[in-house]
Amino acid sequence: MGSNTYGKVFSVTSFGESHGRCVGVVVDGCPAGLRLDSEDFRETMSRRIPPDPELRSSRVEPDEVELLSGVFEGRTTGAPICALVWNKDVDSQPYEEFRFKPRPGHADYTAWRRYGGYNDYRGGGRFSGRVTLSHLIAGVIALKLLERVGVEVVAYTAEIGGIKAGEMPLEEIKSKVRLSPVSCPDPKASKLMEEYVKKVRSMGDSLGGVVKAVALNVPAGLGEPIFESLESKISSIMYSIPGVKGVEFGAGFLSARMKGSENNDPFTVEKGRIVNLTNNSGGILGGISTGMPIEVSVAFKPPSSIRVKQRTVNLLKMEDASVVVKGRHDPCIVPKAVPVVESSLAIALCDILMEAGLIPRVLDG
Amino acid sequence: MGSNTYGKVFSVTSFGESHGRCVGVVVDGCPAGLRLDSEDFRETMSRRIPPDPELRSSRVEPDEVELLSGVFEGRTTGAPICALVWNKDVDSQPYEEFRFKPRPGHADYTAWRRYGGYNDYRGGGRFSGRVTLSHLIAGVIALKLLERVGVEVVAYTAEIGGIKAGEMPLEEIKSKVRLSPVSCPDPKASKLMEEYVKKVRSMGDSLGGVVKAVALNVPAGLGEPIFESLESKISSIMYSIPGVKGVEFGAGFLSARMKGSENNDPFTVEKGRIVNLTNNSGGILGGISTGMPIEVSVAFKPPSSIRVKQRTVNLLKMEDASVVVKGRHDPCIVPKAVPVVESSLAIALCDILMEAGLIPRVLDG
Amino acid sequence: MGSNTYGKVFSVTSFGESHGRCVGVVVDGCPAGLRLDSEDFRETMSRRIPPDPELRSSRVEPDEVELLSGVFEGRTTGAPICALVWNKDVDSQPYEEFRFKPRPGHADYTAWRRYGGYNDYRGGGRFSGRVTLSHLIAGVIALKLLERVGVEVVAYTAEIGGIKAGEMPLEEIKSKVRLSPVSCPDPKASKLMEEYVKKVRSMGDSLGGVVKAVALNVPAGLGEPIFESLESKISSIMYSIPGVKGVEFGAGFLSARMKGSENNDPFTVEKGRIVNLTNNSGGILGGISTGMPIEVSVAFKPPSSIRVKQRTVNLLKMEDASVVVKGRHDPCIVPKAVPVVESSLAIALCDILMEAGLIPRVLDG
Amino acid sequence: MGSNTYGKVFSVTSFGESHGRCVGVVVDGCPAGLRLDSEDFRETMSRRIPPDPELRSSRVEPDEVELLSGVFEGRTTGAPICALVWNKDVDSQPYEEFRFKPRPGHADYTAWRRYGGYNDYRGGGRFSGRVTLSHLIAGVIALKLLERVGVEVVAYTAEIGGIKAGEMPLEEIKSKVRLSPVSCPDPKASKLMEEYVKKVRSMGDSLGGVVKAVALNVPAGLGEPIFESLESKISSIMYSIPGVKGVEFGAGFLSARMKGSENNDPFTVEKGRIVNLTNNSGGILGGISTGMPIEVSVAFKPPSSIRVKQRTVNLLKMEDASVVVKGRHDPCIVPKAVPVVESSLAIALCDILMEAGLIPRVLDG
């Protein structure tokens, strides 16, 4: 299968560029009978645009999702669903400079090497964060399918620029995450993150952070050891998101510093079900779900496009040069990335549940 | 493709269990003409057994690799290579207890849920670290292929139980890593790690750590954005290794705490080639290689099998229970995991290089 | 990968329905730098519409291909190419009847079983021959790539309603196939076929036939034994075309009636190259190309939609019923199928050549 | 996935060579809990050896299947099943001649081109019919799984050297096929075939033929339109069998000569179920099962190894030459191919049923 496709049974093929005509996706393998129309995508699309203009790029588009196939009389048909968003608010002028003077930290250089200079460099082309509209569109469908089997996914900003959200119960996270302009459910941390992003933005610089996603009610016994471990499948899609440089499950890198006696999650019987007293494993043992919440943390580097003068090269002259990145860029991608991480986890779980036969191929009602 | 297969062009299918007849692999897509015999595997196999008995499980086997197919007159034929190691030093008795009393932190419980109790539980069965013999065997072949195109891979212990190896030049790492009983090239850290492992072992407990792998001379322009990013493909195979809970590239989670101006790797021209002055990206931008060293860090949790009393459940009686794990277990899996991580990175790169047409399908000479 | 995707390296994902908004395709893995614009598709699209209205359905659309992604400044970028045709001349009214009264020989019934009645039944929906626009669009791109490496593909009508084209040299086939209204290069047979189709059409009935495709200059040594034999890969895509019920290579079923001494193709040296004196093998031995022309024959059943009264069932009442199919239908699909078979062979070969590294990933000039 | 793997969920990886150490298979995705031991393979293996020595090659081996993994306490575990047959009765001497003087009709030449001369040429190596032991082993497992859901598969010789079996009810076919030395259920045709094979054998020549396979009780609604049509998946595995040059479903090539009114299978309601009055479609419409028997016919060319003098070339001298094939060869492969075709259909159906969630992942009882 091509390199722009993810998934074995619930299969997602991404296409489109930042400043091309559109960004879209083909979702193949969706059961027939699921209610679906353009409205279903509206809220998720709006999550990409924080209301405060100081927290985001000035590129703002309505991003309405058009369904081109696979839906009939308000329901999915079982045929592949092609859905896309037309690009509207495009200003490609600032990108001329980076065509031959690659931005440090950006894919300008590697794209040029990979595609011999034929890539659509405008707005970062295929390497823009905007390409994750594919993930969001497919994610809306995946989340609707998961809802049918009681699985819930929630993501939030766990860290920006070193400022960490405090621990809190999942119910509280769910109720507060949408209230924060940076998608951080801890109000105090949210405020600090917000101020820090604005400050760093005013300096022309950028910040990274960590998004955490949790999936609830995933049945125990899903996944495989070795090459299709839950971690393999989930990390693989997380690393499809531009800017991701780290993925960990449960205690993750911290567990590398624990003793076995600290890290092992004891089992107990609770209301007739086997549960763990702690969840350092992130809900996965041996690549297979335990039935506890699946927890994944995703590290985003700071956006590479900054208004600070940086050393680079001139690709045509093969000599040193410098660049100051103008144009419309996010000072911190993390808040926008929250629904993308959520969608990605949903897509991965949907594929796994479908392969296990746990989502029926025809949905009634 | 089945869940025990990795790779699109250089394709690896793993089989076997810890206490079954064997552990093995089918390597499909290997070019014809590569010199290969059983001897080629000997050194790698021996790296799984640290000489000091206090640093490892007491299970010690010669682990000779038998080539069953795909090799003729000392060279690969282009046909699938089936290779395996027969299990010899097997003692399954201690595992009877865990069949229905799952070890906390181990896959005993999830395997039972996934396979309805039919899994081979002896020695952890398919969930044993021994299954990574598949990775090692395929890795030896991959490393030989990479050598033909000048790509080199080296892995080492970067951290055990919180003790970190100091920074050092890669040449020094390469020369010193094999001298350390814990595969840590920093002699001082190595000594501390060794002592700490022995101490924790004597307490019946275990330690985790971090393995770092570096690939040199990977050509720029390899990989894809989105679903087949280098990070997606590499993390996917890293998470096939039992006990891995975190994978990061370059500065990884640390880059989430940096500003763009700190994290971006400036470009410069050096001897007619474009290079970066730093390598926070771990040699990957936009999912594609930059030509700088590819750097990946892999976090291992502490082995779950410890001689400390732990809370668990009785699966048949559905009631709380306790377990003290006896049997032969590693106090720290990290040193053994070093060649496995090295092999895994080699396999991933080999698949990517072959798909890009950079390793010929027939090798002469 | 999803069930609507074909190909490992040159990968084609089909979407769309007959009476939905569009029919389209995502072509993933196309090298960067190939010149491509909407004009390139015009001639192929027009081959779907024989000028004589008695030889085809009365549904006639301009079928202009729109390129939505993957092309920039008149060249492919290496990113996935989404291309589609908007449906315009749609009349869904006649299909209401078949929703619950399936046409014998058509997929109405199986679609209803597969998708629980949620499939888009209008115009046959996903089961219409119109869906092969996906094959044609991808085929135009594949044929342009094959041209770059000197491989040529030509298809023609070999048989309609039992009337067979005479044997003739390939050069003559190439020069005459476009002159025939039924795409049959033998003028005498073409005339007979034409008359027979018109006659059977006037009776409200339909005819089947055989399309033959030949690929020239395919280098020897391409393909694999066993599961990815050339025949496996080619037959697999041929059977994706609606109405196909037989696929054979070279002498095919006839070779089952030959002796070895008759069927074996002797080798000889001709101008320093090894060739065969005959080509009963269809250019493939052991799943691998011999360097001789690759020859495949594809049997199409007669279209199921006929104006003759037929026995069927009422799906809601579960009782016997009858149906007379009205609407716009082809009396014989074979002439329209010729470019589809040609495209399909091109797609399969393109995928195989790319996997073998024989088409570069960046095309200049 | 590698080119020696078939199947998405029930996945089969073949390895081994004719005169190497073994021929084997890894079956991945088999549900846990299926009873399985070496005995289960004995009868199928014996079907490869017709008792009459005049009807077969003189190579006769016990071909006992060894289970190396994936089975524990007499049941499958859900882990990959590696199973193989050791090669015992090997005489490689006669093959020295063909190394550089390829047999017409054989893969000697294409293997030499594909693998640069490094292929194991002994006994045809990877291109021998013996490699279909992989299909047989996996087929035994697939047939046992199909039995659990009531699906039955039966194959038989429909034609040898132009002599055709008469039509007969399927129950009669099932009861008589094992009585015939050429696996032809029609006693009269069987006798004629037998005599013809012996006669042609005595002339040093060989014969082709047709194997037909039928699957009963396949539920309606299985499969997909377009690229994963039932025909695509089934033809793809049929063309993995050495010597196959044609595959057709139902009336196949004959339907290309029928009118729509003749070819369409009328529907009717019978005992509350929808059935067809005829089965020209071979149980498949639009790539999806109708619930009628699935019928596939597979054309085998005559074995290429004949004792008649033939024109060939000397690959080293690049000049014309001649060859008379000695060694142990079958005069007609068709009887031996019957269980291979049966197994292949079973494997394809098993994969499709598992993907549809119709075979549970854990089998009890």
What angle do helix axes B230-238 and A230-238 make, rounded to 10 degrees? Answer: 160
Average of pLDDT values for A30-52? 92
Smallest Cβ–Cβ distance between D17 and the set B3, B17, B79 belongs to: B79
| Distance between D328 CA and the closest CA of chain A, angstroms | 41
Q: Is A197 helix (H, G, I), strand (E, B) or coil?
A: helix
Q: What are C271-282's pLDDT values in tens digits?
A: 999 999 999 999
Cα torsion angle, C72, C77, C82, C84, sign? positive
Residues of C in contact with A119 (CB under 8 A): 32, 72, 77-79
* Number of Cβ within a 10 Å radius of residue A58: 11
Closest CA to D202 of D212, D214, D210, D194: D194
pLDDT band at A55 (very low <50, low <70, confident <90, very high): confident
B213 has a pLDDT exceeding 80: yes
The chain C residue lying nearest D292, using CA atoms, is C110
Q: CA A44 to CA A139: how far, in whole Å? A: 9
Instruction: Report CB contact under 8 Å: D2, B80.
Output: yes
pLDDT band at B140 (very low <50, low <70, confident <90, very high): very high
Q: CA B131 to CA B242: how far, in whole Å? A: 9
A194 has a pLDDT exceeding 90: yes
Asked if A291 and A275 count as a contact pair (C-beta separation under 8 A), the reply is: yes
For residue B271, the model assigns a pLDDT of 94
The stretches in chain C having pLDDT less than 50 are none
The chain A residue lying nearest C364, using CA atoms, is A116
For residue C326, the model assigns a pLDDT of 83
| Distance between A289 CA and the closest CA of chain D, angstroms | 16
Which chains form contacts with chain C, at 3 or more CB pairs under 8 Å?
A: A, B, D
Q: Do the bridges between strand C244-249 and strand C209-216 make them parallel or antiparallel, or are there none, so unpaired?
A: unpaired
pLDDT band at A291 (very low <50, low <70, confident <90, very high): very high
The chain C residue lying nearest B78, using CA atoms, is C224
Instruction: Report CB contact under 8 Å: C9, B355.
Output: yes
| Beta carbon pairs, A and C, within 8 Å | 185
D60 has a pLDDT exceeding 90: no
| Distance between B169 CA and the closest CA of chain D, angstroms | 37
Q: What are B166-193's pLDDT values in tens digits?
A: 999 999 999 999 999 999 999 999 999 9
Backbone phi and psi for residue D100, each to the nearest 5 degrees, phi listed first:
-120, 5
A50 has a pLDDT exceeding 90: no
The chain B residue lying nearest D18, using CA atoms, is B69
For residue D53, the model assigns a pLDDT of 83
For residue C54, the model assigns a pLDDT of 83
Q: CA C78 to CA A282: how far, in whole Å? A: 37
Q: What are D233-260's pLDDT values in tens digits?
A: 999 999 999 999 999 999 999 999 999 9
CA distances from D328 to D100, D124, D204, D208 (A): 19, 12, 12, 17
Smallest Cβ–Cβ distance between C206 and the set D162, D238, D259 belongs to: D259
Q: CA C190 to CA C334: how far, in whole Å? A: 12
Q: CA D276 to CA D283: how far, in whole Å? A: 9
Q: CA D218 to CA D267: how far, in whole Å? A: 17
Q: Is B141 helix (H, G, I), strand (E, B) or coil?
A: helix
Residues of A in contact with D360 (CB under 8 A): 357
For residue C62, the model assigns a pLDDT of 80
Q: Which one of A6, A8, A13 makes the best mutation probe of the C interface by having the most chain C beta carbons within 10 Å?
A: A13
For residue D93, the model assigns a pLDDT of 81
Instruction: Report CB contact under 8 Å: B2, D29.
Output: yes
% of residues, chain B, pLDDT over 70 = 100
Q: Which one of B222, B232, B294 makes the best mutation probe of the A interface by having the most chain A beta carbons within 10 Å?
A: B232
Instruction: Report CB contact under 8 Å: A1, C7.
Output: yes
Instruction: Report CB contact under 8 Å: D361, A356.
Output: yes
* Number of Cβ within a 10 Å radius of residue A181: 17
Instruction: Report CB contact under 8 Å: B256, A206.
Output: no
For residue A154, the model assigns a pLDDT of 97
B225 has a pLDDT exceeding 90: yes
For residue B312, the model assigns a pLDDT of 97
Residues in C lying within 8 Å of B, measured between beta carbons = 8-9, 355-357, 360-361
Average of pLDDT values for D30-50? 93
Residues of C in contact with A78 (CB under 8 A): 114-115, 118-119
For residue D27, the model assigns a pLDDT of 98
pLDDT band at D327 (very low <50, low <70, confident <90, very high): confident
Smallest Cβ–Cβ distance between D253 and the set C131, C253, C265 belongs to: C253
For residue A329, the model assigns a pLDDT of 82
CA distances from C154 to C182, C253, C343, D56 (A): 15, 22, 9, 41
| Distance between A357 CA and the closest CA of chain B, angstroms | 13
Smallest Cβ–Cβ distance between D120 and the set B8, B72, B122 belongs to: B72
Instruction: Report CB contact under 8 Å: A1, C3.
Output: no
Instruction: Report CB contact under 8 Å: C28, A72.
Output: no
Instruction: Report CB contact under 8 Å: C119, A78.
Output: yes
Instruction: Report CB contact under 8 Å: D5, B3.
Output: no
For residue A30, the model assigns a pLDDT of 98
For residue B157, the model assigns a pLDDT of 98
Q: CA A256 to CA A258: how far, in whole Å? A: 6
For residue C249, the model assigns a pLDDT of 98
Average of pLDDT values for D14-42? 97
The chain C residue lying nearest A8, using CA atoms, is C1
A277 has a pLDDT exceeding 80: yes
Asked if D296 and D238 count as a contact pair (C-beta separation under 8 A), the reply is: yes
Residue type, A318: M
Q: Which one of A11, A69, A288, A355 makes the best mutation probe of the D interface by having the most chain D beta carbons within 10 Å?
A: A355
Q: Is A289 helix (H, G, I), strand (E, B) or coil?
A: strand
Residues in A lying within 8 Å of D, measured between beta carbons = 8-9, 355-357, 360-361
Q: What are B43-76's pLDDT values in tens digits?
A: 999 988 877 888 888 777 788 999 999 999 999 9
Q: CA B72 to CA A145: how far, in whole Å? A: 51
A328 has a pLDDT exceeding 80: no
Cα torsion angle, C344, D247, C282, C352, sign? positive
Closest CA to C356 of C275, C288, C282: C288
Cα torsion angle, B44, D17, A1, D344, sign? negative
Residues of A in contact with D8 (CB under 8 A): 8
Q: Is A278 helix (H, G, I), strand (E, B) or coil?
A: coil
Residue type, C257: R
For residue B296, the model assigns a pLDDT of 98
D1 has a pLDDT exceeding 80: no
Instruction: Report CB contact under 8 Å: A310, B266.
Output: yes
Instruction: Report CB contact under 8 Å: B21, D70.
Output: no
Residues of B in contact with D20 (CB under 8 A): 68-69, 72
Smallest Cβ–Cβ distance between A116 and the set C15, C22, C33 belongs to: C33
Instruction: Report CB contact under 8 Å: A1, C5.
Output: yes
Place of tokens 């594929």: A351
Q: Could you tell me which residues are beta bridge partners of residue C275? A: C268
Side-chain-side CA neighbours of A209 within 13 Å: the count stands at: 31
Angle (CA) B281-B284-B288 rounded to 5° is 155
Closest CA to D32 of D353, D355, D358, D362: D362
Asked if D56 and D50 count as a contact pair (C-beta separation under 8 A), the reply is: yes
The chain B residue lying nearest A163, using CA atoms, is B257
Residues of A in contact with B237 (CB under 8 A): 227, 232
Reported in sequence order, the residue ranges of chain D that DSSP labels E, i.e. its strands, are 5-6, 11-16, 22-28, 66-67, 71-72, 75-76, 81-86, 152-160, 163-164, 209-216, 244-249, 267-270, 273-276, 284-285, 288-289, 294-300, 310-314, 319-323
Cα torsion for A98, A100, A104, A106, to the nearest 10°? 60
Instruction: Report CB contact under 8 Å: A356, D355.
Output: no
Residues of C in contact with D227 (CB under 8 A): 3-6, 12, 14, 236-237, 240
Asked if B230 and B223 count as a contact pair (C-beta separation under 8 A), the reply is: yes
pLDDT band at A177 (very low <50, low <70, confident <90, very high): very high
| Distance between B9 CA and the closest CA of chain C, angstroms | 8
For residue B320, the model assigns a pLDDT of 96
Average pLDDT, chain B: 95
Which chains form contacts with chain D, at 3 or more CB pairs under 8 Å?
A: A, B, C
Q: CA C229 to CA A25: how far, in whole Å? A: 31
Instruction: Report CB contact under 8 Å: C356, B356.
Output: no
A60 has a pLDDT exceeding 80: no
For residue A91, the model assigns a pLDDT of 82
Residues of C in contact with B9 (CB under 8 A): 355
Closest CA to D302 of C274, C212, C280: C280
Instruction: Report CB contact under 8 Å: C2, A29.
Output: yes
| Distance between B23 CA and the closest CA of chain D, angstroms | 8
Instruction: Report CB contact under 8 Å: A2, C16.
Output: no
pLDDT band at A313 (very low <50, low <70, confident <90, very high): very high
Angle (CA) D275-D277-D282 rounded to 5° is 80
